Amino acid sequence: MLLNGRQLSSQALPEDNDKSLRPQKISEYVGQREIIENLHVFMEAARKRGEPLDHILLSGPPGLGKTTLAQLVAAEMGVEIKITSGPSIARPIDILVLLHALKPGQVLFIDEIHRLSRLVEEVLYPVMEDLSFDSIISKGNAKGGVRHKVSPFTLVGATTRSGAISSPLRSRFGILFQLDFYSHEELAHIIERTAGLLNIDIDGGGSLEIARRSRGTPRIANRLIKRVRDFAQVKGAKSIDQKLAAYALERMSIDECGLDLIDRRILDLLVNMYKGKPVGLSTLAAAIGEEADNLEDVYEPYLLANGFIMKTARGRMAGPRAYEHLHVNPPAEFCED
């Protein structure tokens, strides 16, 4: 059932495009406490110096709030934000046009920054360092460089793959933050806020049940509350409680750990078909009918972070929780202390 796989995809879907759910103030941003506390210090210091904030690199799986955070930083600093993404900046001229149009202090947000081409990256280096770039002008046989200046700005880059960022680019960011998956309590808080905005009646047990099955990801939590509301409406229930939430999510094949059919297929392959032996990423992707990139960016992070799978030099292996989840006895090496 494709629908179920899509419900748990942490990548944005058209139905997630509900801007009213995005926190409007940094005080509404739930969780990521350490990052928020440090950001407050860096923003206050920049304000006191009358300078834009240093360039920021945000890393973490899709749906954890990187775009939201960039928007909140701009709002807090009282500046505009220009949002773009790595794949849409194909040529050096594209980034130059963007940089030229920046107003002083503005935030330039580049999503999927790891997908910038090397040529585009090379244009960015001097701009990130000293707000200048050279253009080469050739007239006949003569060649000359012209230096251009851009307004002071803050580049906020977001990536689902911090390992894919080239080291020259990474070293030009002054602030590096790695976003973590959210706790059940934090997600329950986000679900209750969303329920309030959408006029959905839910009790504490209901929000915690949805939170437990949301893979630590606010985007998924916000999507699931809407689907559970559909079940509540059809059943004529006025309020969502734990029982109704569990029923609705089971109906969508989302189990008590937040795993769906595709996740369980991955675990089943690793445990039962490959008998705990390492499996290459592309073999595994082909076996579940997904792109390798999608498997790596969307499915794996939560499974890895929660001990369902392990990444080794020889490939992916089932982790201890995979055996537990499938009620299969683990191989002897898992039982040794």
Query: What residues are labeled active site?
Result: 66-67, 111, 160, 219
The answer to the question of residue 177 lying near ligand ADP (CB under 6 A) is no
Q: Which residues pair with 133 in a beta bridge?
A: 148
The residue of the chain with the least Cβ separation from ligand ADP equals 65
In the complex, what is the shortest distance from the CB of residue 273 to ligand ADP, in angstroms, rounded to a whole number? 32
Asked whether 86 and 113 are in contact (CB, 8 A), the reply is yes
Which of residues 5, 31, 105, 258 is near ligand ADP by CB under 6 A? 31
Using the structure block, give the residue that is written with the tokens 């934090």. 186
The answer to the question of residue 9 lying near ligand ADP (CB under 6 A) is no
The answer to the question of residue 298 lying near ligand ADP (CB under 6 A) is no
The answer to the question of residue 29 lying near ligand ADP (CB under 6 A) is yes
Stretch in the footprint of ligand ADP (CB under 6 A) among 44-52, 134-142, 216-224, 234-242: 216-224
In the complex, what is the shortest distance from the CB of residue 28 to ligand ADP, in angstroms, rounded to a whole number? 7
The answer to the question of residue 66 lying near ligand ADP (CB under 6 A) is yes
Q: Is the Cα torsion angle 31, 70, 79, 75 positive or negative in sign?
A: negative
Structure tokens that stand for 10 in this block: 């942490």
Which of residues 39, 64, 150, 303 is near ligand ADP by CB under 6 A? 64
Count CB neighbours of 245 within 10 A.
27
The answer to the question of residue 216 lying near ligand ADP (CB under 6 A) is no
In the complex, what is the shortest distance from the CB of residue 330 to ligand ADP, in angstroms, rounded to a whole number? 34
Render the burial of 145-167: b for 16+ CB within 10 Å, e for the rest: eeeeebeebbbbbbbbbeeebee
Residues 327, 320: Cα–Cα separation, whole Å: 11
Choice between 60 and 319, CB closer to ligand ADP: 60
In the complex, what is the shortest distance from the CB of residue 84 to ligand ADP, in angstroms, rounded to a whole number? 13
Choice between 66 and 229, CB closer to ligand ADP: 66
Nearest partner of 60 among 111, 121, 9, judged by Cα: 111
In the complex, what is the shortest distance from the CB of residue 194 to ligand ADP, in angstroms, rounded to a whole number? 7
Which of residues 23, 52, 216, 301 is near ligand ADP by CB under 6 A? 23
The answer to the question of residue 218 lying near ligand ADP (CB under 6 A) is yes
Stretch in the footprint of ligand ADP (CB under 6 A) among 56-64, 268-276, 283-291, 297-305: 56-64
288-296: Cβ within 8 A, 24+ apart? 288/262, 290/262, 295/266, 296/161
Q: Is 78 exposed, middle or buried (0-12, 13-18, 19+ CB in 10 A)?
A: exposed
Site string for ligand ADP, 67-106 (x = CB under 6 A): xx--------------------------------------
Residues 292, 106: Cα–Cα separation, whole Å: 36
Which of residues 8, 99, 165, 190 is near ligand ADP by CB under 6 A? 190
Render the burial of 178-206: b for 16+ CB within 10 Å, e for the rest: ebbbbebebbbbbbbbbbeeeebebbeeb
Which of residues 5, 52, 63, 276 is near ligand ADP by CB under 6 A? 63
In the complex, what is the shortest distance from the CB of residue 316 to ligand ADP, in angstroms, rounded to a whole number? 23
In the complex, what is the shortest distance from the CB of residue 88 to ligand ADP, in angstroms, rounded to a whole number? 15
Contacts to ligand ADP by CB under 6 A: 21-23, 29-32, 62-68, 158, 190, 218-219, 222
